[in-house]
Amino acid sequence: MGTYVPNTKKEQQEMLKEIGVSDLRELFRAIPEEVFLERPLNIPAGLPEMAVQQKMSGIAGKNKVFHSIFRGAGAYRHYIPSIVKQITSKEEFVTAYTPYQAEISQGILQSIFEYQTMICELTGLDVSNASVYDGASAAAEAVIMCKERKRTKALVAESVHPETLETIQTYCSGTDIEVVLVPAKEGRTDIDELRRMIDNETACVLLQQPNYYGILEDASLIGDIVHEKDAKFILSCNPISLGVLKTPAEYGADIAVGEGQPFGIPLSFGGPYLGFMAATEKLMRRLPGRIVGETKDSRGERAFVLTLQAREQHIRREKASSNICSNQALCAMTAAVYLDAMGAKGLRQAAESSMSKAHYLAEKLTKLKGFHLVYSGEFFHEFVTTCNGNVDNVLAALEKRGILGGYPLSGKDEGHLLWCVTEMNTKEEMDTLVGILEEVTKA
C-alpha cells in the first residue's frame, strides 16, 4: 500500500523498552523454543521487476483458461460491469476488515450499511449483518443461531450443497446440536419424511432454494410445516435467483443465507467470497459478526456506527454463540457496487436470461441419445442429466475444445452431470457444446 510506513529498528527498540523487554525473541517468550525458526528460509535472491513479471506470467500460463463454462455447483460466472472493479480497487477500500476504530472510517461503514440495506431489500427480511466468510459458514452460523435450551436438533435437507452440509456438521460438532438429514425424493426434499421427523426438539430446518440439483423446492409449504412446530425456517438461496423468485420472507423464512459470489466477484479458485445473512427483527440480537447502524452525530448529521457489539466473542466470550468478529468488507462492498450498477431491472434480466438459456440447453441436451433429465420439476439455471458414455472421457473431450462441462456428481448420482448456464453463455456456445457431445458419444 502506498500509504504504509513501517517502523524503523530504532522505533522498535524504543517500543520494546517501553513494555519492558530487551528484544523481539523475549517478546515471544510464551512460544515454545522448538517452534522457532533457527535457520534462514531458502528464499531465492530478488529479481528485477521485469523479470518478476515474466516469471509470474510463465506460472500463470500453466493455468487452463476456458472460454466457455457450463459449470456452477456453488460458484458462478456472471457478467460484472466494469465500474465494479474500478471502484472497489481504490486503495482506500482494499481491506477485508471493518475497522477496529470504526467510527473514524465513515466511508467503509457507509459501504457496509448500504450492502446490508440491499441484502434486506433482496431477502425481504428486517436486518442483515456485515457478512461472514462464505455461504457455507453463513448456513452453519444460522443453524447455531436457532439453538434453544430445549431445542437442540437441526434438520437439514439432503438436497443442500454437500460442502454446506459438511460445514454445518463441522460447526455443530463442537456443540450439543444434533444435525439430522431430511431425505430427498426425486431430487427434492421429501415432505412426508419432514413431517415425520420434525418435533418439539427441532430448533430449525434448513432448505436450499434452488437446491443443489438446481430444482425449485416447495419452500412455502416447508416453511408452514416448520412454523407449525414453532421451529425456525432457514433458507439458503442463490442471490441471482432472487431477481425472479419470491423473497425468502415471502417463503416464510426466519433467516436467509447464501453465497454472495455471484454479485460481482469473479471465479478465483475458491475465494475470497462472502456469506450474506439476514433475519427477522426478533432474531436481530442473535446474528453473528458485525452490524453497521445509522445514527446522527453531535451536529445532527448522518453518521454510521457499529451496533450490538456486546454479542461478539471478543467482548462477552462466555455468552458468545459465534467466534466471528470480522467480516468480508471488500467482497461485501463489491456486492453492493454490483447491485447498484445492475439495479433491480438488471438483476432481473440476468436471472431471466440465465433461466431461459438453461432451459434451452436442457431441451437441446435431452434430444441427444443417452442424455435425459435425472430429476423432473421446475429449475432455475442448473439441472442434472445422465451422460452417454464415461463422464471423464466426455469432459476431457470438451476440455480439448476449451469448454468446461458440467460438474460430475458422486455417490448415488455417480455418472450424472450437473450443468449450469448463466447470461454469459451464448446460443452459439450451447449449440457448439451439443454438437461436440453428439460427435463424442457417437464415437
**Spatial separation of the C-alpha atoms in residues 353 and 14, rounded to whole Å:** 62
Quick check: is 10 in a domain? no
Indicate if 437 and 297 belong to the same structural domain.
Answer: no
Average pLDDT, the chain: 92
Q: Which of 308, 338, 368 is the last residue of a domain?
A: 338
When pLDDT is cut at 50, 70 and 90, the band that residue 1 belongs to is very low
Higher pLDDT: 318 or 137? It is: 137
Indicate if 349 and 334 belong to the same structural domain.
Answer: no
**Spatial separation of the C-alpha atoms in residues 63 and 57, rounded to whole Å:** 10
**What number of CA atoms fall less than 13 Å from residue 174's CA on the CB side?**
9
Quick check: is 167 in a domain? yes
Indicate if 169 and 215 belong to the same structural domain.
Answer: yes
Question: Mean pLDDT over residues 105-121, rounded?
Answer: 92
Indicate if 131 and 236 belong to the same structural domain.
Answer: yes
**Spatial separation of the C-alpha atoms in residues 57 and 34, rounded to whole Å:** 38
Quick check: is 165 in a domain? yes
Indicate if 231 and 349 belong to the same structural domain.
Answer: no
What does the pLDDT read at residue 100?
A: 65
CA dihedral 267, 268, 270, 275 (to 10 degrees): -60
Indicate if 217 and 360 belong to the same structural domain.
Answer: no
Quick check: is 25 in a domain? no
**Spatial separation of the C-alpha atoms in residues 250 and 246, rounded to whole Å:** 6
**Cell numbers of 321, please?**
454463540
* Segment among 160-169, 285-294, 304-313, 329-338 with least mean pLDDT: 304-313
Could you tell me which residues are beta bridge partners of residue 128?
278
Quick check: is 312 in a domain? yes
Say which CATH number the domain at 398 has: 3.90.1150.10
**Spatial separation of the C-alpha atoms in residues 344 and 240, rounded to whole Å:** 11
Indicate if 374 and 431 belong to the same structural domain.
Answer: yes
* Segment among 108-122, 168-182, 231-245, 307-321 with least mean pLDDT: 307-321
Quick one: which of 246, 238, 215 has its CA closest to 135? 238
What does the pLDDT read at residue 99?
A: 66
* Segment among 13-22, 50-59, 114-123, 208-217 with least mean pLDDT: 13-22
When pLDDT is cut at 50, 70 and 90, the band that residue 314 belongs to is low
Question: Mean pLDDT over residues 294-302, rounded?
Answer: 92
Per the structure, how many domains does the chain have? Answer: 2
Question: What is the Cα 391 distance to its own chain's centre?
Answer: 28
Task: Give, in order, the Cα–Cα distances in Å from 160 to each of 102, 168, 205, 391.
Answer: 36, 11, 12, 23
Q: Is the pLDDT score of 158 beyond 70? A: yes
Quick check: is 300 in a domain? yes
Indicate if 221 and 115 belong to the same structural domain.
Answer: yes
Taking only the tens place, the pLDDT of each residue in 71-106 is 999 999 999 999 999 999 988 887 666 666 677 788
Q: Which of 338, 373, 397 is the last residue of a domain?
A: 338
Q: Which of 307, 338, 369 is the last residue of a domain?
A: 338
When pLDDT is cut at 50, 70 and 90, the band that residue 229 belongs to is very high
Indicate if 324 and 350 belong to the same structural domain.
Answer: no
**Cell 443453524 belongs to residue:** 143
**Spatial separation of the C-alpha atoms in residues 205 and 97, rounded to whole Å:** 31
Q: Is the pLDDT score of 153 beyond 80? A: yes
Question: Mean pLDDT over residues 348-374, rounded?
Answer: 97
Indicate if 264 and 408 belong to the same structural domain.
Answer: no
Quick check: is 436 in a domain? yes
Domain range for 243: 82-338
**Spatial separation of the C-alpha atoms in residues 305 and 294, rounded to whole Å:** 6
Q: Is the pLDDT score of 413 beyond 60? A: yes
The vertex-180 CA angle with 174 and 183, nearest 5°, equals 150
Indicate if 170 and 249 belong to the same structural domain.
Answer: yes
* Segment among 47-56, 85-94, 114-123, 125-134 with least mean pLDDT: 85-94
Q: Is the pLDDT score of 125 beyond 60? A: yes
Say which CATH number the domain at 101 has: 3.40.640.10
When pLDDT is cut at 50, 70 and 90, the band that residue 38 belongs to is confident
Write out the DSSP string of 361-379: HHHHHTTSTT--BSS-S-B
Question: Mean pLDDT over residues 103-114, rounded?
Answer: 87
User: Taking the CA atoms of the chain, what radius of gyration do you get in angstroms?
Assistant: 25
Indicate if 410 and 312 belong to the same structural domain.
Answer: no
Question: Mean pLDDT over residues 313-322, rounded?
Answer: 65
**Spatial separation of the C-alpha atoms in residues 296 and 278, rounded to whole Å:** 24
Q: What is the pTM of this model?
A: 0.88
Q: Is the pLDDT score of 11 beyond 70? A: yes
Q: Is the pLDDT score of 28 beyond 80? A: yes
CA dihedral 68, 74, 77, 81 (to 10 degrees): 180
What does the pLDDT read at residue 328?
A: 86
Quick check: is 264 in a domain? yes
What does the pLDDT read at residue 29?
A: 87
**Spatial separation of the C-alpha atoms in residues 246 and 306, rounded to whole Å:** 31
When pLDDT is cut at 50, 70 and 90, the band that residue 2 belongs to is very low
When pLDDT is cut at 50, 70 and 90, the band that residue 293 belongs to is very high
